[in-house]
Amino acid sequence: MNAAVVLVLFSVLAATQASPDQAVYGVIRVESWSYKYAEKRVQDASYVLNMTVVDRQSAAACTLGESFGYQKVTLRVDHGCRADFNVCYLPVRPTECQVLRVESWNYKYAKKKVAGAALFLNMTVEGRQSAASCDLDKSFGFYNENSTVWVDHGCRADFNICYVKGATSTTTVNVSSWNYKYATKILPSATYIYSMQVAKQHSRNHLWFCGQYHVGQRWLQSGL
């Protein structure tokens, strides 16, 4: 019996501001008319954690991952699925902005950790100190994985940095695909997953990871 039993290391945004008992539940109707794709944004949500069918209105089936699903704060339906869904989501998390000076001297790379930042929203130049230009993603930017902002190529400036308050962490999870079948694993303490990598593989099959993931989940398949 073939299996991909893998220990996967995740970098996650920990739910320090919204534990499972702080999640919000609500029933929301989303409808795919004439078998067309449709979506609906969940108001006052920072991330959708779960979406299940409460009352199907359509003759067409409603199957998670095929005719309905969610990504961040958006619910989607397709292929004629019309239903009332029980949606579990985290409310909007507190945000904060601060002005921070970060400097690239002698055109060298430099970085600075932003304490209390879990998810960066934006980073803009407040006051440039250098003759060298400061261009987002070229000479300055940020890494959500380790709550760090960076500069390079001589960029020196005061930056206005806005972010979601919280904490990041890493965890190792065992994920298994038995008989080459699709499998999922939910990380209940995480609100967003930044990255994943194989820590230890127990199968002899090639592994690949899907490119689009639900919040708090990662998909794993093997044998391709």
The amino acid that residue 96 corresponds to is: E
Asked if pLDDT for residue 90 goes beyond 70, the answer is yes
Q: Maximum distance among all alpha carbons in the chain? A: 66
Give this prediction's pTM.
0.52
- What is the rounded distance in angstroms from the CA atom of residue 8 to the CA atom of residue 164? 26
- What is the rounded distance in angstroms from the CA atom of residue 223 to the CA atom of residue 206? 6
* Predicted local confidence at residue 114, as pLDDT: 94
Asked if pLDDT for residue 10 goes beyond 60, the answer is no
Instruction: Name the token pair of 75.
Output: 């619910």
* Predicted local confidence at residue 223, as pLDDT: 29
Average pLDDT over residues 86-100: 86
